[in-house]
Each structure stands twice: as C-alpha cells, then as structure tokens.
Amino acid sequence: MPASSGAPPAADHDLLQYVASAQLPTPWAIFHIHAFAEPASGKEHVALTLGDVGTDAPVLARIHSECLTGDALFSQRCDCGAQLEAAMQRIAEEGRGIILYLRQEGRGIGLLNKIRAYQLQDQGADTVEANERLGFPADMRRYDLCRPMLAHFGIRRVRLMTNNPRKERVLGELGIEVVEHIPLQVNRNPYNEQYLRTKARKLGHQFKEYFGEAP
C-alpha cells in the first residue's frame, strides 16, 4: 500500500524509513505487511493494515511490542499473544485497521534479559521488580516510531485497542488523536494473574473488567 500524500517531517524520515510491502494471508483476513527500518539502531519494524486506512475516519489501531514468547511460542505468562490475535480478529471483522508491530522485546530490555527476568520471577519477583533487579527501568519502550509509521499511511486519528494509558497519552503528544479507547482484556489465566495485577498496580494498566478498581 503506497504512502499517502504529505511526506512526514525530515526528522521522522531519519528516524524510520519505509522499505517494502506485501500481502500477508492470515486465518482472519488478507492483511498487507509493511516493513520499516530504523537506521540508528538497525531494528526492523512492521505495520499490518487492512482496508483503506488513509481516509479521514478514525482507524481501529493497535500498538504491539514484540513478544516472542507470547506471540510465537504461546506462553501463558503474559497476555501479549492473545492481545495480538484479538486485535487482528477485530480488525478483520471491521474490515479496516492497522497494527504497528514494534521490535522492542521485553518492554525494551531484549529477549535474553527478558528470560533472565523470567528466572527472577520464578524465584518470586514480580515483572517490575525483575527488570529493576537487572538494572533496567520497569518499562523502556518508546513510541516515537509510531508517528512516522502512521504518517506513512496518512493516519491522524485512531480508535486505540489497549489497556495501557501511556500509549494513549504518548500518541496525543505526538499529534495523533485518540478518539476512542478500546480495552483489550484477553487470556487471563493462573500463570499470568500476578503479571496482570502488577501491570495494573505498578504500571497503571487498566483492568477494571478483571479486578474492579483495586487490583
């Protein structure tokens, strides 16, 4: 899918560069996958789109950070893979939407450190404590890449599927209007109960449907 009219700011082009697009058949719909390169770090990111996302109508959207264990290995320690699947299914049902898939594993600490954090969690630490014991902040993810990715498609208004209010706040700071917040609460299970409660209590994620007002 080609970029819409109106090039992103030069600084955004330096931040992220479009590479190529192709069809991506999935169990829910035939999406288009769009590859982007981050020159400074060498990381590669993708966007999945369905339908005409370049119109003025708000676009159903998901910002998803890579989670190899959840997305590809079906881990029940988190809700990441289930969220990705639910987002793709919902977009397919509506026939229009976008998923930004950012390569920032383990809330930005990388895969190997994420496994080290898992080891600490097996010993009793929660997900925030584990990161901090390894010398990292609780959440190192960045979302400035969203602006050039969305600008490539001419998207300025979104209906955001997330439980994380930080994403909504950051998009607003980047000039992207979030016209609707759509909770994405899926795959609560005995293995991720503490993980979900920690995200609610320490990171401000919204799980009212699960825990009410007090996680």
Beta carbons of 33 and 25 less than 8 angstroms apart: no
Q: Which are the catalytic amino acids? A: 139, 141
First to last CA, the chain: 42
Quick: pLDDT tens for 80-120: 999 999 999 999 999 999 999 999 999 999 999 999 999 99
Tell me the C-alpha distance between 45 and 133, whole Å: 28
3-state secondary structure of 105: helix
Mean pLDDT, the chain, whole residue set = 90
Quick: pLDDT tens for 28-44: 999 999 999 999 888 99
Quick: pLDDT tens for 43-91: 999 999 999 998 889 999 999 999 999 999 999 999 999 999 999 999 9
Quick one: pLDDT at residue 26? 98
